[in-house]
Amino acid sequence: MWSLLTKQVETIYGVEMRFSVIGAGAWGTTLADLLCKKGFDVLLWARETEIAHSITFEHRNPLYNSHIALSENLRATDDLGDALKNAEIVLFVVPSTFLRTLLMTAKDQLRSIKGIINAAKGLESGTGKRLSQVFLDVLGIRENSPDDCVAILSGPNLAAEIGVGKIGAAVAACPNEAWAIQIQEAFSTKYFRVYRHIDRTGVELGGSLKNIFAIGAGIVDGLGLGDNAKAAYLTRSLHEMIRLGTTLGGNIRTFYGLSGLGDLMATAASPLSRNHQLGYALCRNETPAYFSAKSKTVVEGVETTRMAYEWGKKLTISLPITEEIYRVLFEERAPVEAAKNLMSRSLKDEEE
């Protein structure tokens, strides 16, 4: 399945390769457009027929970032089998909630694919598995084995900015470094720089856990608590991310990189972040369900908060910020009450 990935970078760089991008949300469409503009053959899968038609014939995604003109060479389909039929490399950008079901549908075709990349963030509901583990589980591949070339593309990547050519960076993480190098070459442009990493666990956890704290950052802004409060909150959030992330197997240095601190900064500061938007909306008495229905998007931080809360209890790890955000999301605690609870905790050493 993966034999061609052990060859030199020239097997992909400078050569037309066939990509299938699964998921026509804002980020999936942006990445498909980026690859297409680099000269790769790209077919984008959209669940909705009207979106596939609009991307192919009108060169716009009518649901996400509709103001951005897409490459005229980008084609889309609503047929998953057709999307995968001639693909050599498959990029998945679908919400964690739907990933396993989609993979089960397509697993026979995926076993003949040369390479898989996942650019979505989150954890599997119920199991708490990282998304790379879901791929490996469905495809029957042993983690970190020679056949394990499932890569993660993560970082502070707001689709609306990358889509119009604003500068950004990401990290490609995979235990197979040769495959990570190939991803670097495929996705890097003059405005989008890709680094590589072998700590896939840490990169995935950073990209997932930061969504919890981005919700909290939206609450800080929604309550009008000010810049001092937000700086203190984000510093303690990073501390909490590292505490849980390293316990779950990530390397501490990874969390200070693009997929940890970098992604936290972007999603906690930007009004473009869905998780930040949710936190802000909670301060206006909106519920998570109402917000998701209104925005027609999946807010990954909600389910990730549940998973992290359960890990904290199971592993007896102190996660005070996560616990308060959990109670706001699932127990109807008022955001202002959560802020008061965090400020009234017993005084600690900063390293605790």
Q: Is 83 domain-assigned?
A: yes
Domain count, the chain: 2
- Say yes or no: 141 and 213 in one domain: no
- Say yes or no: 256 and 181 in one domain: no
- Specify the pLDDT at position 297: 77
Q: Is 350 domain-assigned?
A: no
- Say yes or no: 177 and 43 in one domain: yes
172-199: per-residue pLDDT in tens? 999 988 899 999 999 999 999 999 999 9
- Say yes or no: 214 and 326 in one domain: yes
Query: How many Å apart are CA 55 and CA 51, to the nearest integer?
Result: 6
Q: Give SS3 for 119.
A: coil
Tokens found for residue 131? 């998304």
- Say yes or no: 93 and 168 in one domain: yes
- CA-only gyration radius of the chain, Å: 20
- Asked if residue 113 lies in contact with residue 89, where contact means CB atoms within 8 angstroms, the answer is yes
pLDDT-derived band at 16, boundaries 50, 70, 90: low
Tokens found for residue 227? 């810049």
**Residue 47, number of CB atoms within 10 A of its CB:** 15
- Specify the pLDDT at position 2: 39
- Asked if residue 258 lies in contact with residue 201, where contact means CB atoms within 8 angstroms, the answer is no
Q: How many helices (H) and strands (E) does the chain have?
A: 15, 8
| Host H or E run for residue 260 | none
CATH number of the domain residue 73 falls in: 3.40.50.720
- Say yes or no: 168 and 34 in one domain: yes
Q: Of 96, 115, 104, 142, which Cα lies nearest the Cα of 20?
A: 115
Enclosing domain of residue 166? 3-198
Query: How many Å apart are CA 85 and CA 4, to the nearest integer?
Result: 18
- Say yes or no: 19 and 119 in one domain: yes
- Asked if residue 297 lies in contact with residue 244, where contact means CB atoms within 8 angstroms, the answer is no
280-334: per-residue pLDDT in tens? 999 999 998 899 888 777 789 999 999 999 999 999 999 999 999 999 999 999 9
Q: Of 143, 144, 145, 25, which Cα lies nearest the Cα of 91?
A: 25
CATH number of the domain residue 222 falls in: 1.10.1040.10
- Say yes or no: 134 and 52 in one domain: yes
- Say yes or no: 193 and 218 in one domain: no
Strand partners, 43: 20, 75
Among 147, 169, 198, which residue terminates a domain?
A: 198
Query: How many Å apart are CA 111 and CA 134, to the nearest integer?
Result: 14
203-233: per-residue pLDDT in tens? 999 999 999 999 999 999 999 999 999 999 9
- Say yes or no: 7 and 151 in one domain: yes
Among 198, 230, 253, which residue terminates a domain?
A: 198
The set of catalytic residues is 210
Residue 26's alpha-carbon distances to 7, 15, 32, 186, in angstroms, are 32, 27, 10, 20
Tokens found for residue 212? 């919890």
Query: How many Å apart are CA 317 and CA 63, to the nearest integer?
Result: 41
Query: How many Å apart are CA 122 and CA 138, to the nearest integer?
Result: 17
